[in-house]
Structure 1
């Protein structure tokens, strides 16, 4: 039920955040600002209570939600990401708890959160890891908690360097085990890269020309938009 993406499932995110890979320091998800889809959810009142930003990366979504007056915890497996997230939040005068954590365990966070944001973590995990991850989220949240999840879909064109591409059936089975799915629909996720920057990245990492990426749309700022699933679910 999960279609393989490019052969980058073994990506070392710590090296990415240190800038020691061929991609350099410009990562496709580092907008230097919140993901527009996350802003839209916040505008709709979809974040309440104690919020977990899981796989928070450099913390821009966490910072945005904290600026809206929410209590936010940002967790990531890469120490360099957490270090930079803390620096970005401090520069904005925001009080956010950032910590290094294994998303498939979340030890020490049992029964703590009312809302979870997964902004493109799920598709970085193997099938077994996804099941462990959802079980960990269930333990870390309170009954009735809401999960907002974005994951690369199987509509991604050939040549995009995605760890895994996710089918609708996979989400319904894995997330639906302990969560009631309220919404599952396709949308587009904003990257930090122009089409040419994305093709250069693909050439650097995969030694391919990235020709299949020309079909991707861009936003008003010329940034590539990629197809993802947008899922909202409630913990039973």
Structure 2
């Protein structure tokens, strides 16, 4: 999940390259799937070929692989991808991890039924956000689902002044063309640095 800063000093985090974020375990790397995504798996919502964008050390890719699904994760942090591959070997779960910019997923030349995103959408703004949403649409099959956890504007700015806290209106605007927004629900992103976690939105969209 290369997207959240590794500590409550975002100025320093923004200056770091993706690989450097994983030199020590970052707070979003909780060693298990986020409860919101685990709930989706239990409900049978994660299906078909699965892509996790900004996969970090791979917990959600391995969650999908554990369901017997074809699972791929992409990230720009090679250190995280190496850790993800090691986890896959240790757990005996077939999964694929690729170094790929999530704004250019069309380069994969593949299609997916489900896309997962924990903590990536909210790092983009302006043209980058537009490119990211178009990139998602380029690889998601019609009728496929994009599930996203992002920082919510309900989260206080204290400690996170440079992390964009997303409003419902921004989500609606971003997915206004070629998508159906099925739900935007309050959720939590668990982190190791704060037992209360981060206030988030769990968003379900369908590509149309």
Pick one of 188, 199, 202 that aligns with 1:227: 199
Task: Name the structure 1 match of 2:3.
Answer: none
2 CA distance for matches of 1:97 and 1:32?
18
What SS is found at the alignment partner of 2:94?
coil
Structure of larger gyration radius:
1
* Residues 1:26 and 2:12 are matched in the alignment: no
What SS is found at the alignment partner of 1:47?
coil
> What CA deviation, in whole Å up to 9, does each residue of 1:51-104 have, x standing for no partner?
001110000111122111111010111111111111111111111010000100
Runs of at least 5 residues in structure 2 that lack an aligned partner in the other structure: 1-9
Task: Name the structure 1 match of 2:20.
Answer: 15
Runs of at least 5 residues in structure 1 that lack an aligned partner in the other structure: 1-5, 20-24, 196-222
Task: Name the structure 1 match of 2:185.
Answer: 185
Task: Name the structure 1 match of 2:69.
Answer: 70
Higher mean alpha-carbon deviation, 138-147 vs 123-132, is at: 123-132
Give, in angstroms, the shift of residue 163 of structure 1: 2.5
Distance change >3 Å, CA 110–CA 172, structure 1 → 2: farther
Give, in angstroms, the shift of residue 109 of structure 1: 2.8
Counterparts of 1:102-117 in structure 2 under 5 Å? 102-117=101-116
> What CA deviation, in whole Å up to 9, does each residue of 1:171-197 have, x standing for no partner?
10112222100001211221122x4xx
CA RMSD of aligned residues (A): 1.8
The answer to whether the 8 A contact 1:9-1:163 is kept is: no
What TM-score, normalized by structure 1, do the two folds share? Answer: 0.79
The answer to whether the 8 A contact 1:47-1:115 is kept is: yes
Distance change >3 Å, CA 10–CA 122, structure 1 → 2: farther
Count of aligned pairs between the two proteins: 198
1 CA distance for matches of 2:109 and 2:205?
19
The answer to whether the 8 A contact 1:122-1:151 is kept is: yes
